[in-house]
Amino acid sequence: MRPYRICLLPGDGIGPEVVEAAVEVLQALPLSLEFLQAEIGFGAYQRLGTPLPESTLEAIRQTDATLFGAVTTPPNLPGYFSPVVQMRQRLDLYANLRPIRSLPHPSSRPGIDFLIVRENTEGLYSGIERLEENGQRAITERVITRRGSERILRKGFELARQSGRKTLHVVHKANVLRQTCGLFRQVALEIATQYPEIELREMLVDTCAMELIRAPQQFEGIVTTNLFGDILSDEACMLVGGLGVAASANIGDGIGVFEPVHGSAPTLAGSGKANPTATLLATVMMLEYLGENECAQHLRRAIETCLASGQVTPDLGGDLTTSQMTRAVKRLL
C-alpha cells in the first residue's frame, strides 16, 4: 500500500513544538507515512508576504490529511487576516468537530463525553465588516445560509447516529437573532424529522454556557453556529483539563485538517512548557479519519495512561517538558 501523505503546518509560537511531538509519536506507530511541510501564519507573512500562501492550500488539497499547530494573529496590523479562518473558508472545511471527553487526570471532571459540531465557514466570521460614520460605527454582518445550516446540522445528526447517541442539542439565540438563528433553527427542525431515533433538544446559547458548567453530563452532542461554537468549545474544554488537552478537526468534502484548539501561546514558545496532549489527541482524530482505528485507539490509550501516571506538563501540575511528555507517551506505545 502507498504511504499516507501528511501535510504538516507547524505555524508560529508553540505550533512547531507540538507538531514535532505529533510527528515523533506518529513515527513510532506501525504506519507508512510521508510528510510534507508547508507555511502558515505570521512567520510566513514575514518571510513570504502572506500568512497563507497558495502553495499551502495546494499542499493541503494534495495530501491525505493535514496536521496544523497554531498561528499568531496580530490584532492591529492593517490588512492582515487570520489565515485559520481564511483556510477554513477557502477549503470549505465546513465542520469543526471538538470532542469533549473526560480524561484520567484530576484536572478533568468525570462522566463527560460529548461532541461539539461547530459551523466553520459563515455566521459572524463571514468576514464582511465595515466602518461607517468616520469610524464611529462598526458593522459585522452575520451570514447564515440554508445550505450552510443544512450541511452542518446533517453532519451533527449523522455523527450522533453513527455513535449511537440519543440526543442532540441545537444551540441558538433565535429569540433575539430572529432571522439568522431563526433560519438555523428552522432547518434543524426539518432535518431532525429524518433522524427520528435522535431527540433534538433546543437550547439558547446563554443557557448552554451555564448548563455546561452546571451539569455537563447531560450533553451527548451540540451543534451550533460559528461564533457560538468557538466560545462554547473553549469553555467546555475547561471541564476536562483545559486548552492543553483540547483537540479538533476541520472537515470538508475529502479534506481533513486536525489541530489543537489552543493558539500559539507566545509566552510559552521555546520554554518547553507546551502541553503536547491537545495535538496528540488531534492526531488520534486524524488516524480515525484515515481509517486507522487500531493505531488511533492504541495512541489514545498511551496518552491516557501517560496522563493517569502524572507524567505531565506544568499546565496540568506536572514538571515534564514537551519533549519529555512526548517521550513518555512514546514509551507507552
Catalytic residue annotation: 125, 173, 206, 230, 234
Helix axes 226-237, 205-214, angle to 10 degrees: 10
In whole angstroms, what is the distance from residue 160 CA to residue 195 CA? 10
Q: Does 259 bind Mg ion (CB under 5 A)?
A: no
In whole angstroms, what is the distance from residue 106 CA to residue 21 CA? 23
Least Å distance, CB 278 to ligand NAI, is 6
Q: How would you write the chain as a 3-class SS string?
A: CCCEEEEEEEECCCHHHHHHHHHHHHCCCCCCEEEEECCCCHHHHHHHCCCCCHHHHHHHHHCCEEEEEECCCCCCCCCCCCHHHHHHHHCCCCEEEEEEECCCCCCECCCCEEEEEEECCCECCCCCEEEECCCCEEEECCECCHHHHHHHHHHHHHHHHHCCCCEEEEEECCCCCCCHHHHHHHHHHHHHCCCCCCEEEEEEHHHHHHHHHHCHHHCCEEEECHHHHHHHHHHHHCCECCHHHCEEEEECCCCEEEEECCCCCCCCCCCCCCCCHHHHHHHHHHHHHCCCHHHHHHHHHHHHHHHHCCCCCHHHCCCCCHHHHHHHHHHHC
Query: For residues 230 and 292, which CB has a smaller minimum distance to Mg ion in the complex?
Result: 230
Contact 184, 174 (CB under 8 A): yes
Query: For residues 223 and 245, which CB has a smaller minimum distance to ligand NAI in the complex?
Result: 245
Least Å distance, CB 200 to Mg ion, is 26
Query: For residues 169 and 300, which CB has a smaller minimum distance to ligand NAI in the complex?
Result: 300
CB-hemisphere CA count at 13 Å for 264? 18
Q: Which residues contribute to the site for ligand NAI (CB under 6 A)?
A: 14, 70-73, 84, 243-244, 259, 262-268, 274-275, 278, 315
From the list Mg ion, ligand NAI, none, pick the one residue 73 interacts with, judged by a Cβ distance below 5 to 8 Å according to partner type: ligand NAI
From the list Mg ion, ligand NAI, none, pick the one residue 302 interacts with, judged by a Cβ distance below 5 to 8 Å according to partner type: none
Residues 224-243, one symbol each (x = binds Mg ion by CB under 5 A, - = not), give ------x-------------
Residues 97-116 contacting Mg ion, CB under 5 A: none
Q: Does 315 bind Mg ion (CB under 5 A)?
A: no
Query: For residues 220 and 230, which CB has a smaller minimum distance to Mg ion in the complex?
Result: 230
Query: For residues 63 and 233, which CB has a smaller minimum distance to Mg ion in the complex?
Result: 233
Query: For residues 149 and 264, which CB has a smaller minimum distance to ligand NAI in the complex?
Result: 264
From the list Mg ion, ligand NAI, none, pick the one residue 230 interacts with, judged by a Cβ distance below 5 to 8 Å according to partner type: Mg ion
From the list ligand NAI, Mg ion, none, pick the one residue 284 interacts with, judged by a Cβ distance below 5 to 8 Å according to partner type: none
> Residues in the site for Mg ion, rule: CB under 5 A?
230
